[in-house]
Structure 1
């Protein structure tokens, strides 16, 4: 038992994708090989409180599942999901020592070997939690601070893609301040350079939350106001009649890409409802596209991953224009959906990598990256 890798699983969070994170965490908890790993769950409430659960050396029971999905953790009795501190300071102090303190659920003095954040959206996928782990000196799964921040901010991401020479559809972006100062100018710029229809998105959010399709000026104004509910920066994109093709990327400095897959949306576009609610969208894996298109997409996915200094994993999303087969990169998601039925693991399954192998590989990559960083001289003068 002593040679098991101890994993801290962090989920929930303050973002609008809280429930999506819970689905992912429960799937991961059930899928780990407990002969290799022992897990400590860390649930973050919607108000930002951290709560630690019991040390897990076997998949959680039905009772435990209620606690892990947040019901028990925020309930009156607290149960086994005991608070790790109403503020972050005590938890950070414990993490800095790479071990849980005596108030934790597994105060046996053994260090946490690696943190596994499953926090979608703001405060989890945007570099904030990654910065906390860096400060605490903890290895963690997935993208680092820079890649997470760029992968979350669609405007910054598009700038990086342009620098890397990756083809993109037309786009514009602006802040709330710019919108309030000159709405007419922003509208005119969009109409002149992008036209209708167009897509409006919050720059910093995922799971298609706050995304709208605008067919005229009235809808455009409403869509911008909706996007500004979720972020201070808005991205507007040109509409192209295209198929939506995705590919999974895995690795650090020498990443590899899976076979591509295709999303056939149940709606007019692949919005939150189509992703998580109606269950009618279809995933086609591998995507039925020409071999040369598939190869081009895989190569572009790796270029995009490296352009943002990615590590661990990402899912890269592309448009393939129906009229001529032209390929445009849409975005990368540094923490894609990760249940066994999500596109990311399904594309790897089709490529010959199982869900359990993915978990093993991601933890290995996290530890490798952490060990590489230990050789860096941070200017201590020693």
Structure 2
């Protein structure tokens, strides 16, 4: 902690350039409201969809989701930036950028960013170069976990089932589309087409008719020119949170998602139609299955070199007893009503305590290579 103030200064960084901008703002609203102001000084900083860093309102209600609709970070004349090579925040005016205002040092950053340009290692790399401590996974784990193809490649080598998939690069799609379609046809009758590096179910399509495949790929390409196509995996959707402690990572209670009236857990179902989703925490599973999922979640967390927190999602087929990784989120949904905090609440850790735990964990880390 810097010497010229008593409480650690925590920068809440949110918004961002990804398609999950409003979800990031909603996450920030929840953390703003829950963070212990007696322990921490809060510095809210928003990133607009165009990438400008601006001083943000310290007002949870302003950024919260309302009836499924979110709020964007908007820019006026003021901007903020980290002074190169330091942990010092400065402010300046677009009309007079040469006149910098010293906004003081930042002790720790809580990057509440979802998706590309935030959860994918880009922000983490920036903070590393500034020797700034921050909450969550490091650069490599963040980048790898955001990339579905790399995640599956690494986790399959660790001996955990990941299902069948195909990666479509931009070059492959542009130069040899027929060969790409033949590869995908081999995955089965039903596939899921996804942007390779995105979250919150943005740009995902379930394709049960091969005639719809090209349109689904083009829809995913609007979010990422690298597209992953996954064979449909049967089973219950079960999730486990992982949280780091001084003695190592620990698993949360297990949660289950059941979708009613929709083909899958898409963006609209997640954020705009809560009646279509049934969350069960704890999930109604046997103790043996629970332990299997918890152990597998820790294996995934460690195989990818994660830090701080992650949510690891699986499919469990009750007939075959097969456990298959769906994905990992290094900055999962983080409002009090999101799966990750609710699973930890079942373990006796309140939302406010979870926020404090993550900040204290980040403050205790060394900077540089770990």
Per the normalisation by structure 2, the TM-score is 0.89
d(CA) in 2 for partners of 1:270, 1:190: 22
Matched, 1:338 2:327: no
5+ residue gaps in structure 1? Answer: 85-90, 377-382
Q: Tell me which residue corresponds to 1:292.
A: 288
**Gap runs ≥5 in structure 2:** 94-100
Partner of 1:5: 8
* 3-state SS of 2:88 partner: coil
CA apart distance, 1:109? 6.7
> Corresponding residue for 1:352?
348
Corresponding position of 2:271: 276
- Give the corresponding residue for 2:49: 46
The secondary structure found in structure 2 opposite 1:23 is helix
Would you say 1:126 and 2:123 are equivalent positions? no
User: Aligned-pair distance for 1:69?
Assistant: 4.7
Structure 2 counterpart of 1:163: 157
Q: How far 1:62 moved relative to its partner?
A: 5.6
1:314 touches 1:334 (CA, 8 Å); kept in 2?
A: yes
Check if 1:247 corresponds to 2:261.
Answer: no
**Partner of residue 96, structure 2:** none
| Cα deviation, residue 170, structure 1 | 1.2
For the 8 Å contact 1:26–1:69, the answer to whether it is kept is no
Q: Deviations over 1:73-102 (max 9, x none)?
A: 435xx6xxx322xxxxxx1316x4323336
Is the contact made by 1:241 and 1:322 (CA closer than 8 Å) also made in structure 2? no
Are residue 92 (structure 1) and residue 75 (structure 2) matched?
no
In structure 2, how many angstroms separate the alpha carbons of the residues matched to 1:213 and 1:158?
19
Question: CA 1:53–1:184 in 2, change beyond 3 Å: closer, same or farther?
Answer: closer
Distance 1:43 1:109, change over 3 A: closer
- SS of 1:341's partner is coil
TM-score, normalised by the number of residues in structure 1: 0.87
Q: Tell me the CA shift for residue 70 of structure 1.
A: 4.2
What are the Cα deviations for residues 207-254 of structure 1, in whole angstroms up to 9, with x where unaligned?
011111111211222211111111111111111221100010011671
Residues 208 and 109 of structure 1, relative CA distance in 2, 3 Å threshold: closer
Q: What's the secondary structure of 1:298's corresponding residue?
A: helix
Q: Counterpart in 2 of 1:150?
A: 144
Name whichever structure is richer in strand by fraction.
2
Deviation at 1:24, TM superposition (A): 0.5
Paired position in structure 1 for 2:211: 218
Q: Distance in 2 between matches of 1:284 and 1:232?
A: 35
